[in-house]
Amino acid sequence: MAANLGDIIPAPLSVDPDPGGDFTIDSATVIARSGGSEATSVSDWLAELLRHGTGFALPVAAGAARAGSVIALELGDADSSLGDEGYTLAVSPGSVVIRAAAGAGLFHGAETLRQLLPAGIETAGGRGPWIVSGGKIVDRPRYPWRGAMLDVARHFFSVADVERYIDEIALYKINVLHLHLTDDQGWRIAISGWPRLTAVGGSTEVGGGAGGYYTQDQYRQIVAYAASRYVTVVPEIDGPGHVNAALAAYPELTCSGTAPPLYTGIEVGFSSLCVGKPVTYRFLDDVLGQLAAMTPGPYIAIGGDEAKSTPPEDYVAFIEKAVQIVAAHGKTAVGWSEMAAVPLPSGTGIVAEYWDTSDNGESLRTAVQDDVRIVLAPGNRAYLDQKYDDNTTLGLVWAGPTSVETAYDWDPTSYEVPAGQVEGVEAPLFSETLTTMSDIEQMAFPRLPGIAEIGWSPQSTHDWSSYRLRLAAQAPRWEAMNLDFYRSPEVSWPAG
């Protein structure tokens, strides 16, 4: 049976079903693209997905073809109120027409079409019929920043794992991948002129495993893959705390001049860069400058959290300098919200990410006063690394346990931030207890789609009792994708 039009996650802005308008993909269906190179790349991506799932030829041709059975992807000439990420999707017996002003919107529309098709579309030559319910969807996001953060420092994850996660988050219209690249337990990005960062700092991980790191080419590969899914990578170099791996590699970065041993535990707050030393800023300029050069997106994240071993005046000096270095390399700084304790230049687009568990914590108040953009990643709602319940083996509990309902059932406007200052939401996934892709998936699913929906969908669609039905309907797709997820008892999953 075809899914009801609009029964997708995140819920669309508006849905207008037409019971007489169902469309069927069959062996004669063609894909028509118009509007330039991104129409081509999105059409090719969709064609590959649908060919794999249906086994049909689905040729892609240029032009706004209308005869026969057509899936049309049209770039340009769209309703400008829908912005770069919005789209319309119109389903009638002869065609599915996805139209958008920009490639991002076209891609989001294609992901919507994917979710409207039966789960079998995710398997090779899956079972049809491939019916899409008739009518029209008009859609655009509530917030510009809908993030997922992945910690590749506590445990290292391969390029293939990160690319798989990018595909999984993009299915739910997440558009930011915040990569936590460095921490006490590991340094995961190669920096020219500082080879020991990876050779030594990247050589282990929590629990003492082998760790690993990305070469600059591998990092570029991740960034390009993300861009092909309209996901912006925001790389994070955490400082002035969370730096033991760097200090173990380069004793000159410590105040004592003595390198600490590598660290494979999960405590926080014991390491600090030596803020008074000039070498600290040569290091920072090399690292942030090389990252900026490899990162097409506008942001570089500088950490700023849990600097418990940095004297307060040193913390201020460090954050001011790091923000300046990021700006000097043409990027905008992102930091955890503690950094707002430092007077930040307003009107520059700087983003503070609020991760506290209280609705109006001090770092949120200072971030509001600093007039920076705010991303809400509340620890007790959005942290995917918290246990679901007392039976969950993976995960932490400092802010949890966090049920699927708790992760979904909140509204950014309940935080004391002027509405126009909220840039969006983010779901962090720290990896102290996570070692495999399957672990990542079990923590992210099914909570991540809830955060994605909070970031994308209008508040008027927010309703746990209907959301949990849409969520249950995702399970066959996840099974078809071999995506592990936690069968939370809060949701009535279909028999697998």
Contact residues: ligand ACM, CB under 6 A: 305-306, 336, 355
Nearest approach, Cβ of residue 306 and ligand ACM (Å): 5
Nearest approach, Cβ of residue 269 and ligand ACM (Å): 9
- Alpha carbons 117 and 171: distance in angstroms, whole number: 13
**Does residue 306 have an active-site annotation?**
yes
Residue 150 burial (CB count, 10 A): 25
Please, which residue, 136 or 178, has the CB nearer to ligand ACM? 178
Nearest approach, Cβ of residue 344 and ligand ACM (Å): 17
Q: Is the peptide bond before 401 cis (omega within 30 degrees of 0)?
A: yes
Nearest approach, Cβ of residue 379 and ligand ACM (Å): 7
Nearest approach, Cβ of residue 337 and ligand ACM (Å): 9
Residue of minimal Cβ distance to ligand ACM? 305
Annotate 212-268 with DSSP letters as a single string.
Answer: --B-HHHHHHHHHHHHHTT-EEEEEEEESSS-HHHHHH-GGGSSSS-PPPP--S---
Q: From its phi and psi, is residue 209 left (phi > 0), alpha (psi between -120 and 50) or beta? A: beta
Q: Residue 472 has which token pair?
A: 């249950």
CB-facing half-sphere around the CA of 460: CA atoms within 13 A = 4
- Alpha carbons 166 and 226: distance in angstroms, whole number: 6
- Alpha carbons 443 and 407: distance in angstroms, whole number: 12
User: Which of 48, 267, 306, 479 is an active site residue?
Assistant: 306
Nearest approach, Cβ of residue 115 and ligand ACM (Å): 31
Kindly list the distances between the CA atom of residue 103 and the CA atoms of 8, 39, 48, 78, 227, in Å, as whole numbers in the listed order: 20, 7, 17, 12, 11
Going across the sheet that includes 70-75, the strands are 14-17, 135-139, 87-92, 95-100, 70-75, 30-34, 60-62
Nearest to 454 by CA among 348, 347, 377, 366: 377
Please, which residue, 398 or 464, has the CB nearer to ligand ACM? 398
Please, which residue, 8 or 153, has the CB nearer to ligand ACM? 153
Please, which residue, 11 or 375, has the CB nearer to ligand ACM? 375
- Alpha carbons 58 and 473: distance in angstroms, whole number: 27
Query: Are the CB atoms for 218 and 278 separated by under 8 Å?
Result: no
Query: Are the CB atoms for 100 and 75 separated by under 8 Å?
Result: yes
Nearest approach, Cβ of residue 448 and ligand ACM (Å): 17
Annotate 129-142 with DSSP letters as a single string.
Answer: -EEE--EEEEE--S
Active site residues: 306
